[in-house]
Structure 1
Amino acid sequence: MTVYAIAELTIVDPDAYGRYLDKFFDVFSQYDGALLAADNSPDIIEGSWPHDKLVLISFPDRAAFDAWATSPEYEEIAQDRKAGARSTVIVAEGVLNPLELRRGK
């Protein structure tokens, strides 16, 4: 089942985060993920959101996400992401059948 990773980032060191971005696609392209959104100023429709950036990526399944997120190549560049931004990362499973939402499954 498709999984989505949502990252909320507050940039604290633009240089370190820039180094991460410079290498991100070289690593990401080796895995079966898709970049769906990367927005430095998303519209806040309801509530408050104290971050600078939102990123949304997808993978065919949790195993593909885990392979990318725990790969030595990603772990190496993630050091700059962690130094450059305070992050909250959430992984959520997609929905096979939208009717399941109505049934509370």
Structure 2
Amino acid sequence: MNDTIQRKLHIALRINWFCYIGLLVLFVVRNLFVEGGSLSLWLIQTVPLLLVLPGLIKQRYRSYLWLCFILLLYITTSIVDVMMPTRGWEDGLMMVLSLILFFSAMMSSRWHRMQ
């Protein structure tokens, strides 16, 4: 049983990092390289994610829980943006990355505690 938990945790951690970095790259592209973006909006979007980065690097399960709480804001915002008539592909990508990161962070936290 412990071997399967280790394997699941390893996969979930890879998904976490992929989606986490994906969100940060999306915010950089959306705000710094696309017309209509701003540096202040980029800071507002990235600082909450960067707050939990030290704990994620140290693989503390509480950081994954805090990441889930922070991601609720991103999920809510992206769902509202996806439903707007002026939506773009970035809104859908943000929603997908946020949801996948939320579920994988939640399961990573659980599997960390089961070890």
State the TM bucket, normalised to the shorter chain: 0.3 to 0.5
TM-score under structure 2 normalisation?
Answer: 0.33
Q: Say which structure is richer in helix.
A: 2
Q: With CA pairs under 8 Å and 6+ residues apart, which has the higher RCO, 1 or 2? A: 1
Q: Say which structure is richer in strand.
A: 1
